[in-house]
Amino acid sequence: MISRTRTPIGLIYLRLVIGFITILISALQVNDYKFFAILLLTIGLLTDIFDGIIARKLNISTLRLRRLDSIIDVIFYICVVFATYI
């Protein structure tokens, strides 16, 4: 069962990392920031969609996993807003 939960949890934590990378590239004023921001936002949104689909498909959607997903979603979107503000 541990190996089955790795994919949805990995996607959830990937979204968290993407949020912080978005802030980092914004703060460092990376060339082509808009391209990278849109790319990272798109990947973040796709991980948000697919982690739920995969968890339900594998029948491992638990209350704990849903709460973790919701918390990471909030952090991700706060990171995106903060990066946009920068």
Average pLDDT for residues 23-49, to the nearest whole number? 91
Average pLDDT of the residues of the chain:
88
pLDDT in tens, 43-83: 999 998 988 888 888 888 788 888 988 999 999 999 999 99
**Alpha-carbon distances, residue 56 vs 3, 22, 28, 40 (angstroms):** 15, 28, 38, 25
* Nearest of 73, 85, 80 to residue 22 by alpha carbon: 80
- Rounded to whole angstroms, the Cα distance separating 26 from 76 reads 14
Query: Checking phi first, is residue 59 left (phi over 0); if not, alpha (psi -120 to 50) or beta?
Result: left
Q: Is the pLDDT of residue 14 over 70?
A: yes
- Please provide residue 11's backbone torsions phi and psi, each rounded to the nearest 5 degrees: -65, -35
Is the pTM higher than 0.85? no
High-pLDDT (> 90) share of the chain, %? 45
